[in-house]
Chains A and B, each alone.
Chain A
Amino acid sequence: MQRNRRAEGGRIDRSRPLRFTFNGKPYEGYQGDNLASALLANGVRVTARSFKYHRPRGIVGHGPEEPSTLVELDGEDASGNRPATTVPLCDGLSARSVNCWPSPGFDLGGVNQLFSGLLPVGFYYKTFKWPGWHLFEPAIRKAAGLAAAPASPPASGHFEARHAHADVLVAGAGPAGLQAALKAGRAGKRVFLADEGTEAGGSLLNRALTIDGKPAMDWVSGTVAELDALENVTRLQNATVWAYREHNLVMVNECDPDRDGILERSWRVRAGEVVIATGTTERSMVFGNNDRPGVMLASSVQAYLNRWGVVPGQRVVLFTNNNSAYAVAADLAAAGVSVSAILDSRRTVAPEALDLVAGLTVHLATVVSEVRGHKGVRAVKAAPATGGAGTWIECDLLAHSGGWNPNVHLWSQSRGALRFDDDLAAFVPDQPVQACRAVGAAAGDLSLDRIIEGGADLAYGIEPLWRVDVPGQRGMAFLDIQNDVTVSDVHLALREGYSNVEHVKRYTTAGMGIDQGKTGNINIIGTVAMQQGVPLQDVGTTTFRSPYTPVSFGAIGGLREETVLFPYRHTPVTRWNKDNGAVMYEAGARWQRPGYFPKPGEGLQEAVNRECRAVREGVGVYDGSPLGTFELKGRDVPKFLDFIYANIMSSLHPGNGRYGLMLSDDGLILDDGVVLRLDAHRWLLSTSTGHADAVNQHMEKLLQTEFPDWQVMITTVTSQWNNATICGPRSRDVIRALGTDIDLSPEALPFMSFCDGTVAGFPARIVRVSFTGELSYEVNVAPRHMAAMWDKVMEAGAPFGILPVGSESSHVLRVEKGFLSLGHEVDGTVDAYDLGMGWAMSKKKADYTGKRSVMLRRASGRVRRELVGILPVDPDRQIPEGAPLTPGGRKEATEGLVTACVWSVVNNRWVGLALLENGHSRHGEIAHVRMKDDVIPITITKPVFHDPEGKLMRS
């Protein structure tokens, strides 16, 4: 039974009852309710337990400011830590309080209250210190936790993130926002109006105000109707502007978009101008036991009454320092609710406020010093503001108003300055930094008559009271209800030397809850100011950070999940690879590549051995398409290549290719690759797969910023050429079997040359390069022919036992030859000399990228780590890649590391490569790998284990 629901009034639909459960108990509410209004309607007072002390808590606010009642939603749309005031009620909703077990009414964690002295402010700073922190951490985490992350993603539907552009973005559809949107909309501008509420109107939804003598909501509906008729206006409800980024990029999170299947939608709006019409939030009063269930913000009591037809108490006391609570009292009295007293900390009150509450008891210069009642307010102590004995007033609801804070979060996020306004006793927007303006209550216009012509409202009239400070007051006085931070916590932090407000915040965690202290932060600043005897302006605010209210990770990610979480690239052979049992994974630059091709029942090593044997003894083929390829054109290409490569490229003749190292100007190896000269002015440059983009950037940067006069034009053709690299002693036979008009004899097509022609009927370019050390032909064709070409290679190669080769085998084959791999042997510290590739560093050229730095570094004479081969003394002993080498295997500084270790089919043992101090002069020595619990002796050798003269690849 909704015992606190009025028979009529409010913006709910009593003809549409909704059933829901809270902590397992069934309740009923109405369409238009949120979870909080429905709980209050049902008379549920204790709705939560506090974070640290597990004190019983009720509902405090009516919107995103709610500090107290956080819930976890069950079922399909499970989510955690949602303020109950922001959860729209729907049929079948199932919610639980966070942070209590088994229920907020009977919470075992409540024993923490008895030990509150053991949980002082700065508890984390004082406890989580080495070496003991890991002993406390699991227990603390469990006890202090909020809701758990949902166990699984939503069962149906998905999130969407999208972009939008507007001339004017208006944040907030209250009276000021609606006016701003209407003006811009009528002027034909592209307007984006986003409002966090379920319907437009802002504070007008909660208050019984008039515009031009008519109900203010009539004006709202008229304005909304006009806006919705304008094609250039986009109006969203349930859409919170939660971040204001650089250059007027504004993030909007739309919950419950008007489209089935989309759970939440994240908008990234770039706006010409941003109008901040975010309204204002009422702040708490600070007094003893101000967190008891039944202590609520006055404006929230008014909202529940007017908007949801709910009376959260039968006997009400109001406590205020400004005029706004008088309208609340008047609304309550008009609804027949018993108002026991209005306690006002001010000495004088404007007559028009008093006129509103004629007939009610008003005590001026009076404060609430303490609340009695554990699971609900039973009485409040009214004490003279200047001290002296108080009197208890019985009541079940205390509605308090500590004044109003303009919602400057977005303004502050935009880096706009804030100014403390003494008349308003609040921080208000000062100078903007970006193209934005604040309007309405957000700008400090705290009564309707200042916002809209014809609006009737009481003047604000505040005299600030940052905390009640009368002798003999008792009970914890909370500044931050969500994080359980009290006045004495802030005093302790100040005594312990945390005097800056940012330090106070971090030390006490005040304002660091998910409500970001919307109702309490100003009182913290006020408390600090009172203690230090300085104006609030000098204390300043803590930084307002996004998100303004919590946002689902899903909404931020949008469509990015499952298979498209990361980009992926395919070649025309990907389908064949998958059909033929390849184990696929990413191998650089987002390319999905086959790792190996296991036969049924075969493991990785067996498959790799089989593939390697095919290449060494017969023939294998791999898909080399991912290699980065660039066509360079222009008269200055030779000069340019000589500048970016360490060796000389300009002497290449058309039809030939050359391997080279590319350095950065600080002397590190950027890439290695092969350059082909197509004709006088056209060149083809290939890069390692993973560095294609970096090389492109490097080249374009040099050409555009250093040498704008050089005539070099670069076109990326990585995906214009695919290639099947056929390698092994029988590779020539396979190409002949495929059919080609290219003369394959070693005389006509020697190692490091290329020729254009046809292969298997396809236009092709054959390039004789080798990354395996075997006779090898890179058959390049256009991607449109690649899949067909691949089929023909497999068919023509079948009589020769051709096997597809994955990247695992490619790795083994290159290690056997000592061919370097960027990321393995090249780690950003080694140079070409360390790799035994001094020949790749031209001595003839006076200058090329990186030369000076390499020479400078080598001139220092420091010990270098040099590339060596390693043979484990026990040939069956594998060494993990990356394992450290130390002198004698002792626990000393390392002298190198193992960069690769593979099972070599041709050597029938494990072989590897390592970078070792002075390695070039240590061939034949025994060195030691130091493992955590073992020392492995290895023999140092030349870094080549197969065909050291390189005869095979030149055959």
Chain B
Amino acid sequence: MSYDVTTQRCGLAALFDLKGSRETIQNWAGDVLPPFPDGPNTRSEKNETELFHIGRDHWIVRSPLSQEDTLESRLNPADCPPDISIVRISDTLTFFRVTGRDTLDVMAVACPLDLHDSVFGPDAVTHTEAFGLKALVLRYADGFEIAVEQSFGDMIEDYLIRAIS
């Protein structure tokens, strides 16, 4: 019997990497970004655009791919002030969605982090390990998302199939 879990390898999303002081980024980006999330390793969302606070002075914006050009023109990485860094990284990550009744079983195989909802809340997002690789892990609706460096996508797909069967 296999685990009652559905996995989905997601298509591209628009992703931008933001580094620098929150004020400068906020001033530069204006209302194209959701409000900045409060705590470390949490996220915020507005109009399908999410902001992941994943490190000291470090965020990732995620939007549907259809918003990529708009974001690019609003964030304007090439011309942003020298003391912040904005880089398009849409192609660098491959996201997987893991949902279903036994999601926690499969996530416990993949990820050493404590994902119990008392510790890893609904707005949690963090870099950690999945199947031995650096991965971005976040809660997503009734499950989780795992993102790895795009070149490892095939391998994670391979692993997920093994973990579920």
The chain A residues found within 8 Å of chain B, CB to CB, are: 158, 160-165, 190, 259-261, 268, 270, 558-560, 563-564, 567-571, 574, 591, 625-626, 631, 633-635, 678-682, 711, 713, 715-720, 782-784
Contact = CB atoms under 8 A, between A and B. Distances in A.
Contacts of A713: 19-20, 84-85
A840 to B, nearest CB: 28
B10 interface: no
Nearest to A163: B112
B133 interface: yes
B82 A635 contact: yes
A559 B109 contact: yes
B75 to A, nearest CB: 13
Contacts of B163: 160, 559
Contacts of A260: 1
B88 interface: yes
Nearest to B11: A784
Contacts of B84: 633, 713
Given A165-B116, A680-B82, A719-B150, A158 B162 contact: yes
Contacts of B90: 720, 782, 784
B54 interface: no
A268 B108 CA distance: 10
A720 B91 contact: yes
Interface stretch (B32-40, B44-52, B137-145, B153-161): B153-161
A711 B83 contact: yes
B20 A679 contact: no
19 contacts: A162-B109, A163-B108, A559-B131, A560-B132, A567-B152, A569-B149, A570-B151, A570-B153, A625-B151, A631-B87, A633-B19, A633-B82, A634-B82, A681-B82, A719-B93, A719-B151, A720-B87, A720-B88, A784-B90
Contacts of A711: 82-83
A268 B20 CA distance: 37
Contacts of A163: 108-109, 111-113
Given A559-B159, A567-B133, A571-B151, A715 B89 contact: yes
**Interface size range on B against A:** 35 or more
A304 B109 CA distance: 38
A569 B116 CA distance: 31
B112 A569 contact: no
A635 B84 CA distance: 10
A103 B100 CA distance: 52
Given A162-B109, A715-B89, A719-B150, A563 B19 contact: no
For the complex of A and B, 5 pairs with smallest distance between CB atoms: A633-B85, A569-B151, A713-B85, A165-B114, A713-B19
B155 to A, nearest CB: 5
Most chain A CB inside 10 Å of its own CB: which residue of B84, B89, B92: B92
Contacts of B151: 569-571, 591, 625-626, 718-719
Nearest to A786: B91
B17 interface: yes
B94 to A, nearest CB: 9
B78 interface: yes
B2 to A, nearest CB: 7
Contact of A635 (B19, B83, B91, B112): B83
A783 B152 contact: no
B66 interface: no
B19 A715 contact: yes
A260 B3 CA distance: 10
Contact of A569 (B83, B93, B113, B152): B152
Interface string B57-89: 000000000000000000000100011110111
Contacts of A559: 109, 131, 159, 162-163
Contact of A716 (B92, B108, B131, B154): B92
Nearest to A681: B82
Interface string B10-43: 0010000101100000000000000000000000
Nearest to B150: A719
Nearest to A165: B114
Contacts of B1: 259-261
Contacts of B114: 165, 270
A678 B79 CA distance: 11
B130 to A, nearest CB: 11
Given A559-B109, A783-B150, A784-B12, A569 B155 contact: yes
A164 B85 CA distance: 38
Contact of B165 (A261, A560, A633, A720): A261
Given A564-B131, A634-B85, A719-B151, 17 more contacts: A163-B111, A165-B116, A268-B112, A568-B155, A569-B155, A591-B151, A631-B87, A634-B83, A635-B83, A711-B82, A715-B17, A715-B87, A718-B92, A718-B151, A720-B88, A720-B92, A784-B91
Contacts of B82: 633-635, 680-681, 711
Given A165-B116, A680-B82, A784-B12, A564 B154 contact: no
Contacts of B88: 720
B73 to A, nearest CB: 14
Contacts of A633: 19, 82, 84-85, 87
Contacts of B87: 631, 633, 715, 717, 720
Given A165-B114, A270-B114, A564 B159 contact: yes
A73 B154 CA distance: 37
A246 B68 CA distance: 46
Contacts of A679: 78
B161 to A, nearest CB: 10
A571 B150 CA distance: 9
A178 to B, nearest CB: 24
Interface hub of A574, A631, A713 (most chain B Cβ within 10 A): A713
B91 A782 contact: yes
B154 A570 contact: yes
Given A261-B2, A571-B151, A719 B91 contact: yes
A558 B151 CA distance: 23
Nearest to A267: B108
B64 to A, nearest CB: 15
A719 B92 contact: yes
B105 A162 contact: yes
Nearest to A783: B91
Contact of B108 (A164, A574, A783, A784): A164
Given A559-B159, A783-B150, A567 B132 contact: yes
A558 B150 CA distance: 24
Nearest to A781: B91
A441 to B, nearest CB: 32
A235 to B, nearest CB: 16
A155 to B, nearest CB: 15
- Interface-centre pick from A163, A164, A270, A635 (highest chain B CB count, 10 A): A163
A720 B151 CA distance: 10
A713 B88 CA distance: 14
A719 B149 contact: yes
Q: Which of B88, B108, B111 has the most CB of A within 10 A?
A: B108
Contacts of B132: 560, 567
A681 B153 CA distance: 32
A21 to B, nearest CB: 29
A158 B17 CA distance: 39
A715 B85 contact: yes
A631 B151 CA distance: 18
A783 B94 CA distance: 11
Nearest to A262: B1
B33 to A, nearest CB: 17
Contacts of B162: 158, 559, 564
Contacts of A681: 82
Contacts of B105: 162
Contacts of A261: 1-2, 165
A270 B2 CA distance: 26
Nearest to B2: A261
A268 B113 CA distance: 11
A564 B153 CA distance: 12
A563 B162 CA distance: 10
Contacts of A716: 92
Contacts of A591: 151
